[in-house]
Amino acid sequence: MAVSANMNAIILTAVWGIVMMFGGAFFKQKSTPKYWAIAGLALVIIANCYELFKLDPKGVEHGNLFPVEIKGMLTFDSFNLLFITLVLICTLFLFLLNGRDIEKVGNNVSEYFALIFFVLCGVSIAATYNTLLTLFLGIEILSIPLYILTGSDKRNLKSNEAALKYFLMGSFSTGILLMGIAFIYGGNTGTPTFYINNINLGTGKLPVMIGIGLVFLLIAMVFKVSAAPFHFWAPDVYDGAPTVFTSFMATIVKAGGFIAFIRLFEHAFGTAQQQWQILIAIITAATLLIGNLTAVFQQSVKRMLAYSSIAQAGFMLLSIFAINQFAKEGVILYTAAYSLATIGLFAVLIKMSDYTIDGFNGLAKQQPVLAFTATICLLSLTGVPLTAGFQAKLFMLIAAVNDGHQNWLVVFAVLCAAISAYYYFKIIQAIYFKESTSAVQQWDVTPAFKVLLIITAALILILGIWPSLIIDWLYY
Partner 1 sequence: MPINYYIFLALALFCIGVIGVLTRRNAIIIFMCIELMLNAANLLLVAFSKLHTQVSALPTAGSDAQIFVFFIMVVAAAEVSVGLAIIVMMYRNTHSVDVNFLNRLKN
Partner 2 sequence: MSITQILFWLLSALAVGGAIMVVASKSPVHSILFLIITFFAISGHYILLNAQFLAIVNVIVYAGAIMVLFLFVVMLMNLNEESAPPQKNKYILYGGTIAGASLMLVLVAALKQSSQGRYLMDINSGTGGLIENLGKLLFTDYVFPFEISSVLFLSAMIGAVVISKKEA
Partner 3 sequence: MDQDISITFPHVLIFFPLLAGLITFFLKKDATVKSWALFSSIITLCVSLGSLYYANNKALSGLTFNYEWLKYIGASFSVSLDGMGRILTLLTALSFPIIFVATYKNQYKNTNSFYGLMLLTQAGLMGVFLASDALLFYFFWELAIIPVYFLCSKWGGEKRIQATFKFFIYTFTGSLLMLVGIIYIYLQTAATQDAAGKIISAHSFAINYFYAAQLTVDQQSWLFWLFFIAFAIKMPVFPFHTWQPDTYEQSPSAVTMVLSGVMVKMGLFGVVRWLLPMFPLAVAKFDTVVIILSVIGIVYASLLAIKQDDLKRLVAYSSIAHIGLMSATIFATKQIGLEGVMIQMFNHGINIIGLWIVIEMMEQQLGVRKISQLSGVAHKAPVLTIMLVVIGFANIALPLTNAFVGEFMMFSGLFQFNSWIAVVALVSIILAAVYTLTMVQKVFYGQVNALTTNMKEISVNAQIALSIIVVAIFLSGIYPQPLFDLTKDTVTAIITRFK
Binding site for partner 2 (CB under 8 A): 10, 14, 17-18, 21, 68-71, 73-74, 106-108, 111-112, 114-115, 118, 121-122, 125, 133-134, 137, 140-141, 144-145, 147-148, 151-152, 154-155, 186-187, 189, 207-209, 211-212
Q: Rounded to 5 degrees, what are φ and ψ at 153?
A: -90, 85
Min separation Cβ 164 and partner 2, Å: 11
- DSSP alpha helix (H) spans, 383-467: 388-403, 407-433, 447-465
Nearer residue to partner 2 within complex by CB, 122 or 330: 122
Nearer residue to partner 2 within complex by CB, 138 or 362: 138
**Rounded (to 5) percent helix, strand, coil in the chain:** 75, 0, 25
Binding partner of 162, given partner 1, partner 2, partner 3, none, CB within 5-8 angstroms per partner class: partner 1
Alpha carbon distance 1, 412 (integer Å): 41
**Residues 320-359, mask of contacts with partner 3 (x by CB under 8 A):** ---------x------------------------------
Q: Residue 244 in contact with residue 105, Cβ under 8 Å?
A: yes
Min separation Cβ 103 and partner 1, Å: 21
Q: Which stretch binds partner 3 (CB under 8 A): 38-46, 76-84, 118-126, 411-419?
A: 411-419
Give the count of alpha carbons within 13 A of 159, CB side only.
18
Alpha carbon distance 290, 254 (integer Å): 18
* Angle between helix 388-403 and helix 368-382 axes, rounded to 10 deg: 10
Min separation Cβ 390 and partner 3, Å: 8
Of 21, 92, 164, 461, the one binding partner 1 by CB under 8 A: 164
Of 2, 178, 401, 455, the one binding partner 3 by CB under 8 A: 401
Q: Residue 285 in contact with residue 406, Cβ under 8 Å?
A: no
Examine residue 278 and tell whether it contacts partner 3 (CB under 8 A): no
Alpha carbon distance 128, 88 (integer Å): 14
Min separation Cβ 124 and partner 1, Å: 18
Q: Which stretch binds partner 1 (CB under 8 A): 93-101, 116-124, 149-157, 408-416?
A: 149-157
Q: Which residues of 124-152 are buried (b: 16+ CB within 10 A; e: fewer)?
A: bbbbbbbbbebbbbbbbbbbbbbbbbbbb
Examine residue 153 and tell whether it contacts partner 1 (CB under 8 A): no
Residue list 165-204, contact with partner 1 (CB under 8 A): 165, 167-168, 171-172, 174-176, 178-179, 181-183, 185-186, 189, 191-194
Nearer residue to partner 1 within complex by CB, 162 or 459: 162
Of 170, 256, 359, 467, the one binding partner 3 by CB under 8 A: 467
Binding partner of 385, given partner 3, partner 1, partner 2, none, CB within 5-8 angstroms per partner class: partner 3
**Widest pairwise Cα distance in the chain:** 71
Examine residue 379 and tell whether it contacts partner 3 (CB under 8 A): yes
- 353 burial type by CB count under 10 A (0-12 exposed, 13-18 middle, 19+ buried): exposed
Nearer residue to partner 2 within complex by CB, 99 or 138: 138
Residues near partner 3 (CB under 8 A) are 329, 379, 384-386, 390, 394, 397-398, 401-402, 404, 407, 410-411, 414-415, 417-418, 421-422, 425, 429, 432-434, 466-468, 471-472, 475
